[in-house]
Structure 1
Amino acid sequence: MENRIILIIGILLLIVMILTLFAGIFFYNLSVNRNVSKEAVFDDRKNSSSQGIKQNETSGEYNEAYTKWILKESNYEDIYIKSFDNLKLHAYKILNEENSDKWVIIVHGYTGEGLRMGSRAKKFYDMGYNIIIPDLRGHGTSEGNYIGMGWHDRKDMIEWINFIVKEDDCSKIILYGISMGASTVMMTAGEELPNNVKLIIEDCGYTSVWDEFSYQLKAMYKLPKFPIMHMASIITRIRAGYSFTEASALNQIKKCKLPILFIHGDKDNFVPYYMQDMIYNATNCLKEKLVIKDAGHCKGDKVNPELYWDTIKKFIEKYS
Structure 2
Amino acid sequence: MAAVTVVAVVLAAVLLAVSVYLVNYAIGRSGSGGDRDVALEVEASPDSVEAVIAANKAQCKEKIDAFTQENPRENLAITSQDGLTLHGVCYTHADADSHRWAIVLHGYRGDYTGALCLAEPYYEAGYQVIAPDLRACGESEGSYVGMGWLDREDILQWIDYITVRDPQAEIVIHGVSMGAATTMMTAGETTPDAVKAFVEDCGYTSVWDVFSSELQLRFGLPEFPILYTASAVAKLQAGYSFTEASALQQVAHCEKPMLFIHGTADDFIPYEMMDALYNAKPGDNKAELTAEGAGHGEALYALGGTYWDTVFAFLEPYMN
| Cα deviation, residue 26, structure 1 | 1.3
How many aligned residue pairs are there?
304
| Cα deviation, residue 318, structure 1 | 2.9
Pairing 1:261-276 to 2, within 5 Å after superposition = 261-276=259-274
TM-score (norm 2): 0.90
| Cα deviation, residue 9, structure 1 | 2.3
Residue aligning to 2:80 = 83
Residue aligning to 2:71 = 74
- Cα deviation digits, residues 190-231 of structure 1 (max 9, x gap): 111110000000000001111110011011111100111111
Residue aligning to 2:30 = 35
C-alpha RMSD of the superposition = 2.0
| Separation (CA, whole Å) in 2 of partners of 1:67 and 1:139 | 21
- Cα deviation digits, residues 252-272 of structure 1 (max 9, x gap): 111101000000011112011
| Separation (CA, whole Å) in 2 of partners of 1:175 and 1:167 | 17
| Separation (CA, whole Å) in 1 of partners of 2:307 and 2:62 | 21
Matched AA of 2:39: S
Secondary structure of 1:30's aligned partner: helix
Does residue 1:122 correspond to 2:120, yes or no? yes
| Cα deviation, residue 36, structure 1 | 2.5
| Separation (CA, whole Å) in 2 of partners of 1:169 and 1:297 | 36
| Separation (CA, whole Å) in 1 of partners of 2:10 and 2:276 | 38
Report the identity percentage.
40
CA contact (8 A) 2:15 2:226 kept: yes
CA contact (8 A) 2:170 2:194 kept: yes
Residue aligning to 1:283 = 281
CA contact (8 A) 1:69 1:118 kept: no
Deviation larger for 287-296 or 72-81: 72-81
Return 5+ residue gaps in structure 1 as ranges. Answer: 1-5
| Cα deviation, residue 96, structure 1 | 2.1
| Separation (CA, whole Å) in 2 of partners of 1:50 and 1:122 | 33
Matched AA of 2:168: C
Residue aligning to 2:191 = 193
Label 1:121 to 1:173 Cα distance change in 2 as closer, same or farther (>3 A): same
- Cα deviation digits, residues 46-70 of structure 1 (max 9, x gap): x233989xxxx9xxx9976456446
Pairing 1:195-210 to 2, within 5 Å after superposition = 195-210=193-208
CA contact (8 A) 1:50 1:270 kept: no
Residue aligning to 2:221 = 223
Label 1:71 to 1:308 Cα distance change in 2 as closer, same or farther (>3 A): closer
Return 5+ residue gaps in structure 2 as ranges. Answer: 45-52
| Separation (CA, whole Å) in 1 of partners of 2:265 and 2:318 | 28
Pairing 1:1-320 to 2, within 5 Å after superposition = 6-38=1-33, 41-42=35-36, 44=37, 47-49=38-40, 65=62, 68-69=65-66, 71-98=68-95, 99-285=97-283, 286-320=285-319
Deviation larger for 281-290 or 149-158: 281-290
- Cα deviation digits, residues 82-104 of structure 1 (max 9, x gap): 00000000110110244300000
| Separation (CA, whole Å) in 1 of partners of 2:193 and 2:31 | 39
| Cα deviation, residue 34, structure 1 | 0.3
Matched AA of 1:304: L
TM-score (norm 1): 0.90
Deviation larger for 228-237 or 67-76: 67-76
